[in-house]
Amino acid sequence: MPKWLDRPALLVVFAALFWSGNAVVGRIAVVEVPPVTLAFLRWFIAFGIVMPFAVKAVWNDRAVIARNWLLLAAFGIIGVAAFNTCLYIGLRTTQAINAGLLQAGTPMMIVGFSALLLRERPSWRQLLGLAVAIAGVLAILLKADVEALASLRLNGGDIWVLAGCILYALYSVLLRWRPQMSALSFLAVTFAFSWIGLLPFSLVELAHSAPIPLSAKNLGSIIYVGIFPSVLSYLCFNRAIELVGAARAGMALYLVPMFVSVMAVVLIGEPFHFYHLLGMALILGGVALGSLKASQPERQ
């Protein structure tokens, strides 16, 4: 085994870096690649990579999969397909920086859904953290302009990204009812339901879109999102969990907004405004204040 696979700090950084690249590369790709098709291609490639290693696990879990296929389909569609499709649609009209910062509020959204669906009573720290994180999300959505709240001048792309984050938070809480099966077979099956569910929508989208230019940029973007944030981040993150536990490995989620911000400014020249800094401080402050003691969910 390579030595770097025994270094949890390095694994966490790689996982966060690849997830961050998804927002930046996605922002570049959706200019010419339709967003639903980009999501379909991402999970089709990821499934093709994972499935050869998961065949034995899927076969061993075949009875569980047959009994729970509808639930597994819901996991694949809500947590994998819908989240990423919303993200890519949003990236057509919003900055990658906004997308990265809004995703940082997901842990506190999980607190809210846990209270609503699982009747888990949040502590006062979690409630205060939730309020602070929501303030940070609003600062980004409204560009720190209180007058925008009255006139509701919101960026449609931000709303799509926020909708995706809400869906992922819901998926994370629903994982409480995940069937008892191996992690590898769960991954392969949910990937399969994801791209199968996206296929008809992608075909309709392609029928009403301009042809995708066969350029190195588009091909490289598709390969990147299919491999790095989909497969390699998962492997790095789960190896880090094996070494140091879910709570410490979960720090990877908090590195994402900083990485996205730096990459978006340096690589694609996005401007970084005061409201980004304010939103980042509030969201990460809220997450730190009300940080969950429970294990962080697997990132898709």
Name the DSSP letter for residue 228.
I
More confident site: 235 or 69: 69
Residue 119: CB partners within 8 Å, gap ≥ 6?
Answer: none
In a domain? residue 300: no
Q: Which two tokens stand for residue 110?
A: 């999980």
Residue 298 lies in a domain: no
Give Cβ neighbours of residue 210 (< 8 Å, ≥ 6 apart). none
pLDDT at 70 over 90: yes
Percent of the chain with pLDDT over 90: 44
Instruction: Lowest mean pLDDT of 50-59, 169-178, 211-220, name the range.
Output: 169-178
Residue written as tokens 């990658």? 96
Give the pLDDT of residue 179. Answer: 93
Residue 150 falls within a domain, yes or no?
yes
**What average pLDDT score do residues 146-172 get?**
79
Tell me whether residue 35 is in a domain: yes
In a domain, 112, yes or no: yes
pTM: 0.84
**Residue 98 buriedness (CB in 10 A; 0-12 / 13-18 / 19+):** buried
DSSP, res 154: -
- Residue 294 located in a structural domain: no
Q: Is residue 259 assigned to a domain?
A: yes
Cα–Cα distances in angstroms (integers) from residue 217 to residues 8, 28, 33, 193, in the given order: 32, 9, 10, 28
Residue 55 lies in a domain: yes
Residues 6+ apart with CB under 8 A from 50: 184, 187, 188, 191, 231
d(CA 250, CA 216): 34
Instruction: State how many domains the chain has.
Output: 1
- In terms of residue numbers, what domain contains 114? 3-289
Q: Which two tokens stand for residue 109?
A: 């959204």
Choose between 149 and 13: higher pLDDT: 13
